[in-house]
Amino acid sequence: MLEQIIDLDKQLFVFLNGLGSAQFDPFWELITKQFNWVPLILTVLYLIQKKIGWKNLGVVVLFLALLITFTDQTTNFFKNHFQRLRPCNDPEIMEVIRIVIHRNSFSFFSGHAANSMAATMFVGLVLRRYYKYVGLLFLFPLIFAYSRIYLGLHFPGDILTGYFFGMLFGFCFYKLYQLVVKKYPQLQV
């Protein structure tokens, strides 16, 4: 059963990765770099500050830093435990795929997907009562993580697992955030 899932994951990867074209490679290389998302992150932080103030923004940023650290370390634990080869290193498919970026680290599960989804879930839950279209923020992890498939760095299963853990951790940290805000009323908006 697990072998069938892995085989389907590889087939789906080959299909999705094969949709790429050399003319779009620079775009997806730009998308995959975290630093290039700074304008979006600063805009979201501004929207948070505008609704909850500077002190509360500091608490949100602290929770986000802890969340990203936790998610990132959990991802590293899983990668080192499962040691799944990245598509660009997988001898079964590396000759038939487009490899735009090569990495030697392990693949399962995607830290890009987990971190971006965790942060988006947390921020989305914080902002949902203030902004009607906060759900649009979820385009960020979708585009960000797809870049990993396009570039030859992650299988779809790595991305979906990263999304699952990211949503779970983002939700749990939001619940912790609510407890802190409830315990310290001076932080409430």
Residues 6+ apart with CB under 8 A from 55: 186, 187
pTM of the model: 0.91
Q: List the alpha helices (DSSP H) in 2-138.
A: 2-18, 25-32, 38-82, 111-127
> Tokens representing 172?
């749990």
pLDDT at 81 over 60: yes
pLDDT at 170 over 80: yes
> For the chain, what is the mean pLDDT?
94
pLDDT for 187 equals: 62
The single residue listed with the structure tokens 């770099």 is 33
The crossing angle, in degrees rounded to 10, of helices 156-183 and 139-150 is 150
Domain span at 147: 2-187
DSSP 22: G
Q: How many domains are contained in the chain?
A: 1
pLDDT for 23 equals: 96
pLDDT for 96 equals: 94
pLDDT digits 0-9 by tens, 54-74? 988 999 999 999 999 999 999
pLDDT at 76 over 80: yes
Q: Per DSSP, which regions of 89-148 are E strands? A: none
Residues 6+ apart with CB under 8 A from 123: 44, 48, 60, 64, 137
Do the beta carbons of residue 123 and residue 1 sit within 8 Å? no
Tallying the residues shown for the chain, one arrives at: 189
Output phi, psi for 154, to 5 deg.
Answer: -145, 145
